Structure 1
Amino acid sequence: MSFLTRKKFDFVSHGLATDTFGVVRFRGSEGFSKCYRFEIDLVSTEPQIDLRSLLSNPATFTLLRDEGDIPFHGMLAQFDQLHQVDEYVFYRAVLVPKLWWLTLTQHNQVFLDKNVPEILQDVMKDGGLTSLDFDLRLQADYPRREYVCQYGESHLDFLSRWMEREGMYYYFEQNENSEKLIITDTRIAHSEMDQGKNLYYSPPSALDEPHREEVINSFVCRQTALPRDVRLRDYNCQTPSLEMSASAHVSDQGRGEVYIYGDHFRTPEEGNALAKVCAEELLCKGERFYGESTIPYLRPGYLFDLQNHYRHSFNQGYLTIELEHEGSQTAFLLAGIRKELSDTERQPYYRNSFVAIPGSVQFRPERKTAKPRFYGTMKARIDAAGSGQYAELDEQGRYKVALPFDRSERMGGKASAWVRMMQPYAGADHGMHFPLHKGTEVLLTFVDGDPDRPIIAGAVPNPDAPSPVTSENATRCRMVSGSGNEIHMEDEAGSERILMNSPKKGGFIRIGAPNDPDWDKLMSKDGISLATGGSFDVKAQVWNVLILGESAAITVGMDNKFVGVLRVDSTIGARFNFPMLWEKKCGAEKTKWIGLTQKAAGSDVEISGNNVQAVGAIQRALGSKVDAAAMDTKMNALKTRVAANYSAAITAQTRLIANKSEVSAAKTEAVGQATRAAVQQSQAIADEATAAAQDSRLAATSAKSSASEFRAVVKRDIAAASRLRLRAERTVLTILDTQV
């Protein structure tokens, strides 16, 4: 039905006939970075309208005018059936743009390696918009971001907070059939209104001219105090030594400073861009103009020029940023109900109030959309490519994780950006790190509670990956690698021990209490091998004990030194063997070393089962000569060492000769004449040994002047010692033969 032949407002739902509804009155609001919303009271003669179908169909509310209609396209967010008066049924509709659909969502998702414009497009398309429903008119360059998280937010809140941060804002263009979302970051994207840019200021008076029906009848200015500067500061873990600070100037007349920390900018250049956006956000609040008008085509996002204001400086260009609409056709509501209507009630009207800023000022949206904060921990799993056991790490030792809420199904090392892991000890060229395996359950926390800045707090066990310490071994501190390498410390009273075990060769080291309960669980009991390509040094400040169960072998390639500062006790259980020199069997022999002189007291020398008494005169004489040779060689450290070694060899041979001479003397007492001959031969041998010692001293002295001569002397001494040894052996054999 047609309610009026000349109406000012119209509403059409595209699922119903165009004349189904008449508009009684309405209120609406629109502005930058907000979805417009019109609440429209309707009247109809149709009481059985399918209310659900209205919500799924587009609708259009139109301000009618002879010079061109002003449409508002969108969807119905709400539709109410109110009451009935006579044959009229009253309804209320709430009209919003399609962008409003994004408020119905709540999502948790991750965006990787995308810039903000790309993220905006992905989110809007996921919310039901097509590429025909929006247009990005951006001037700035937006760097790619490694990791962006939408956490517990609607799509619209997520888009809004990112646009507010980056200085983007949006408004709507109304075309013939639909609305289009315009996202911009620059004032040069705004254009003049199609209906004309000149708007006239004409306050209410009795002198209004007829052509001034659509005028601005109120226009006031508000100045607001501003801060002087904006300063930002942050920290980037990728450039820890680079100072992350930025600043921007707001107003010369400003007071104070706005200081913001933790805005998550990664370079000083990005920080300066953010500081500039913050400064422009504050600056566009410094001077605003509030007006009222009857101009229906006044819209946010469009420029106009004010004319005829009594303050000449106000007659300039402006950009409309907010608008409130109001209109009524009350005659619909009262017709047939009240017979008497006032002139005001009979006349439909339209008016609006608006907010504008100077056209030369860059608008920036207020940062009012709160960023979600996550204080606590979140479960995740280590993500990695391939089928290997270990997860891949980057050059910084970071991991990739699969978040529990992410529905992208990106796996194989593509579920996240690289994420750092907290360590108990870290620093330049030092620290700790136990590599995690693929699929390991970890707990994430977030720097400053920011979902865009995750960090691995630690790994946690579960029934599929149990803890190495349970109720069965609660007194143990254990560290077990994925391949079975283990270090554990047993703290049970009386069984304190430390065990290190590697399954490769079955080697282990145990310190502390014996009889480790896990002995039978070790892979092998073969022992431990210590090897080094260089030196191996073991030092004990007070004392050291080395106990070897069955046998021990110590092999020295070239040189061996055994030093006792005050006393050295050597205990040999069964046999003490000096190859090539002599062989002694003793139970508990004590040997005292003083310099290079040896005294043997109470020694038992066993040869063929006979006990003889050692006569030490010749030995002491030879020892004295060796001592003298050693003292002479102290002039030069290197030469002394060589001479001493050779002198020691001669001394050893001499002792052998002396011992055998003592045998000869003992035999002499038993066999008579043969003994005297042996003594004479022994004396001759002693004389030759004395001569050899003197030759050794001369050789050591000559070594000081000529190394080559010294080597010759040494060779001669060795030959002489060999001859002495052979003669001594022959002497002993002669004595034995004589005895026989």
Structure 2
Amino acid sequence: MVSVAGTEAISGLFRFEFELASPDHDLDYQSVLGKKGHLTIKGLDADRHVHGLVSRIEEVGRNEDLSRYRLTLVPSLWVLGLRQTSRIFQDMSVPEIVKKVLKDAGIPSSEVELSVHGDHPKWEYCVQYRESDLAFVSRLMEQEGIFYFFKHTASGAVLRIGDDPSDHPVAPDVTKLPFRVAGGMAASEETVTRYSLSEEVRPDAFALKDYNFKTPAVDLSGSAKDKPGLTTEVFDFPGEYDSASEGTALAKIRLQELRAMRRQGTGETNCARLTPGHTFEIGGHPRKDYNGKYLIVGAQHHGSQPQALGREGAGSASSYSSSFTCIPADVPYRPPRITPRPMAQGAQTAVVVGPSGEEIHTDEHGRIKVQFHWDREGKKDENSSCWIRVAQPWAGPKWGSMFIPRIGWEVVVEFMDGDPDQPLVTGSVYHADNPPPYSLPGEKTKSTIKSNSSKGGDGSNELRFEDAKGSEEIFIHAQKDLHIDVENDEGDTIGGNRTVTVAKDESVTIDGNRTEKVAKNETITVDGARAETVAKDETIQVDGARTMTVAKDESLKVGENRTLNISKEDKVSVGDSRSVAIGKDLSHQVGANAQYQVTKSQVLDVGQSFSLSAGKEIVFKVGGAELIMKSDGAIQLKGSKINLKADGAISIKGSKVESN
């Protein structure tokens, strides 16, 4: 090895570049690339080990004896940066998601130490969207204040993931490093040769706010302060949490993130084992407040071994130095949020999904589930996504519009603030398998709202508008029942004809008055029976003639009096018998003449008295017989033969009795 240069940081990938001198001028790169590498840096007290993968190799020079190659050594976690996908995680916490991603990437569980102490709630819905596995897990851990670093031993490397100061072990084989100013002679011990502290003003308060549609009236503010009184506060929205308690915890993490590097130290050492994520102690510094325990957050390594070049490096000595950045060990370290969140720019479409056999799948909020076109792991069922809210034209408290997209529809999905974790359905579109309800462009003047009966289809309700000039129409179709509820007045104006066809019964109930006016003729045809009941009075006025034809019997029943007033003639024609039954008196009053004509017999039967009175005369006539009674008292009886017969006596009295 000719030289080495490396960088390391908490929540970052280490990268070591080292030059090798080899007599092989034709080194096979494929025999090296992607293979495991083990770098050992010899120390005065103990060796430093670095395990990783060779990610790059290049030839940087050669002479007659040797070729020089530069190799790059990175952790196995680096491979996650080469894996990019889009997928969905549901009902999993960040530690659980990270563990799954690492497993899917082929990193053995024996190479991972997951040690988290804080409360990491399950995410209902978390999307890895067009980003590498490395970027995905990095931003999730940064979001929740989780850090990672690497522990190297002679046998291998382990990725350690934690969220608490207790997760930081002491640097390997380092207890306390003494501070010694660098001299001209070779060091005989591992020391810190330069060290200084810096402090800077950082925000001392953090406030967050968010909104949860399930608890819209609840204030989801969360805040954290480092000291009372006036503050330099940072406020952010949305906070990406669901409850106020989560907001408070997250605000504390955000504040710790901003203030973690408020007091930081930088130094140089000849100890290669001061690695990020580990703690160490400085002693013997002339400034007493510099002495103490620190957490290493970053380190840079530089080493050279020119004698490996043979004759070209003869007489040169090996050297090594490291510079580091650290913070007090009791300060909680939170990684800065430097990994950008992927943005879902613009709208996408997706297919509505649900359980097998269902046509509509929704919850109490009218939300639906979808399968995104980019989702390769979804099964196109009710588990393909979280519940997604559906935008409606109106959405009031128990009023508004409600159109629930159905399984198989293609819907338009947008994302709140471009966040793939916050989808919102804003509409739906037709496609080749779901064409519009009418053939286009032939019926382009039609506009419609047409549903489909569920389950099974084969029926619909529809409100359709036809705007073709001269054929304008509004069409309403109810697949089964139609109910119209008018709280107050209803007015209908029809410029032309109106046709109403009722296949079965019709019932009309009017609690108040009813007025019906027909300007011209009215025809009512009842094929069966007809019953009409009027609770109070009925008045029928016919300004012209009226004809009533009853093919069979007619029955008229009047509970009290009946008055019939005819301004002119009244003619009654009865084809067969006629019977009139009167419970009490009968009175006929004729203003002029009255005439009765009986073709056959007439019988008049009076139970008691019978009185017949005429103003001038009464004439009884049968054939040649005649009885005339006049108003002056004269009575004339004529006939071809007159017989008087009595069971008793016959008496004739007069002032004068004549006999011929």
Instruction: Indicate whether the TM-score tops 0.5.
Output: yes
Structure-2 change in CA distance of 1:546 and 1:97 (3 Å): farther
Q: Is the 8 A contact 2:371 2:378 kept in 1?
A: no
Matches within 5 A, 1:434-445: 434-445=403-414
| 2:163 paired with 1:185 | yes
Counterpart Cα distance in 2 of 1:95 and 1:237: 49
SS for the counterpart of 1:140 is: coil
1:493 maps to what in 2? 469
Number of residues paired by the alignment?
583
Counterpart Cα distance in 2 of 1:380 and 1:67: 61
Deviations 1:384-425 (A, max 9, x none): 11223x122122222111111112142331111211111112
Q: Is the 8 A contact 2:405 2:411 kept in 1?
A: no
Greater share of helix: 1
Q: Is the 8 A contact 2:112 2:159 kept in 1?
A: yes
If asked which structure has higher relative contact order (CA below 8 Å, sep 6+), I would say: 2
1:372 maps to what in 2? 342
| 2:30 paired with 1:65 | no
Q: Note the C-alpha offset of 1:505.
A: 8.5
Deviations 1:464-492 (A, max 9, x none): 11112532222222111113222212223
Q: Is the 8 A contact 2:34 2:55 kept in 1?
A: no
SS for the counterpart of 1:415 is: coil
Q: Note the C-alpha offset of 1:67.
A: 3.1
In the alignment, residue 397 of structure 1 is paired with which amino acid? G
2:656 maps to what in 1? none
SS for the counterpart of 1:336 is: helix
| 2:577 paired with 1:608 | no
Q: Aligned to 2:212, which of 217, 227, 236?
A: 236
Structure 1-normalised TM-score?
0.70
In the alignment, residue 667 of structure 1 is paired with which amino acid? A
SS for the counterpart of 2:2 is: strand
1:397 maps to what in 2? 366
Q: Note the C-alpha offset of 1:431.
A: 2.2
Q: Note the C-alpha offset of 1:68.
A: 2.5
In the alignment, residue 407 of structure 2 is paired with which amino acid? K
Q: Is the 8 A contact 1:381 1:441 kept in 2?
A: yes
Q: Aligned to 1:463, which of 384, 407, 432?
A: 432
Structure-2 change in CA distance of 1:353 and 1:439 (3 Å): same
Structure-2 change in CA distance of 1:353 and 1:599 (3 Å): farther
Q: Aligned to 2:392, which of 412, 423, 428?
A: 423
Percent of paired sites with the same residue:
28
Q: Note the C-alpha offset of 1:438.
A: 1.8
Structure-2 change in CA distance of 1:26 and 1:662 (3 Å): farther
Q: Is the 8 A contact 1:497 1:513 kept in 2?
A: no
Counterpart Cα distance in 1 of 2:520 and 2:202: 81
| 2:239 paired with 1:263 | yes
Matches within 5 A, 1:228-627: 228-251=204-227, 255-333=231-309, 335-337=310-312, 346-388=316-358, 390-469=359-438, 470-482=440-452, 483-504=459-480, 527=502, 551=525, 560=535, 574-575=547-548, 580-581=555-556, 602=567, 605-608=570-573
Structure 2 residue ranges without an equivalent (≥5): 453-458, 485-491, 576-580, 613-660
Q: Note the C-alpha offset of 1:556.
A: 7.5
Matches within 5 A, 1:32-43: 32-43=10-21
1:661 maps to what in 2? 588
Q: Is the 8 A contact 2:279 2:295 kept in 1?
A: yes
Q: Note the C-alpha offset of 1:128.
A: 2.0
Q: Is the 8 A contact 1:112 1:147 kept in 2?
A: yes
Q: Is the 8 A contact 1:169 1:184 kept in 2?
A: yes
Q: Note the C-alpha offset of 1:284.
A: 0.9
Counterpart Cα distance in 2 of 1:247 and 1:305: 34
Structure 2-normalised TM-score?
0.78
1:162 maps to what in 2? 140
Q: Note the C-alpha offset of 1:515.
A: 11
Q: Note the C-alpha offset of 1:136.
A: 0.6
Counterpart Cα distance in 2 of 1:581 and 1:127: 96
Structure-2 change in CA distance of 1:169 and 1:530 (3 Å): farther
Deviations 1:348-383 (A, max 9, x none): 111111111111110001011111121321111111
SS for the counterpart of 1:272 is: helix
Counterpart Cα distance in 2 of 1:291 and 1:504: 84
SS for the counterpart of 1:113 is: coil
Q: Is the 8 A contact 1:114 1:146 kept in 2?
A: yes
Q: Note the C-alpha offset of 1:668.
A: 4.6
Deviations 1:695-720 (A, max 9, x none): xxxxxxxxxxxxxxxxxxxxxxxxxx
Deviations 1:639-679 (A, max 9, x none): xxxxxxxxxxxxxx99x999x835797525999xx9xx99x
Q: Is the 8 A contact 2:45 2:190 kept in 1?
A: no
Deviations 1:307-350 (A, max 9, x none): 111211111111111101111112334x43477x6xxxx12111
Structure-2 change in CA distance of 1:558 and 1:542 (3 Å): closer
Q: Note the C-alpha offset of 1:190.
A: 1.3
Q: Is the 8 A contact 2:350 2:412 kept in 1?
A: yes
Q: Is the 8 A contact 1:226 1:250 kept in 2?
A: no
In the alignment, residue 356 of structure 2 is paired with which amino acid? G
Q: Note the C-alpha offset of 1:263.
A: 2.4
In the alignment, residue 101 of structure 1 is paired with which amino acid? V
Structure-2 change in CA distance of 1:664 and 1:546 (3 Å): closer
In the alignment, residue 305 of structure 1 is paired with which amino acid? E
| 2:122 paired with 1:144 | yes
| 2:3 paired with 1:25 | yes
Counterpart Cα distance in 1 of 2:151 and 2:220: 40
Counterpart Cα distance in 1 of 2:343 and 2:610: 102
Structure-2 change in CA distance of 1:504 and 1:226 (3 Å): same
Q: Is the 8 A contact 2:37 2:52 kept in 1?
A: yes
Structure-2 change in CA distance of 1:358 and 1:512 (3 Å): farther
SS for the counterpart of 2:81 is: helix
Counterpart Cα distance in 2 of 1:62 and 1:271: 45
In the alignment, residue 302 of structure 1 is paired with which amino acid? H
Counterpart Cα distance in 1 of 2:317 and 2:555: 136
SS for the counterpart of 1:156 is: helix
In the alignment, residue 661 of structure 1 is paired with which amino acid? H
Counterpart Cα distance in 1 of 2:303 and 2:263: 29
1:153 maps to what in 2? 131
Deviations 1:668-696 (A, max 9, x none): 5999xx9xx99xx9999xxxxxxxxxxxx
Structure-2 change in CA distance of 1:28 and 1:544 (3 Å): farther
Q: Is the 8 A contact 2:89 2:126 kept in 1?
A: yes
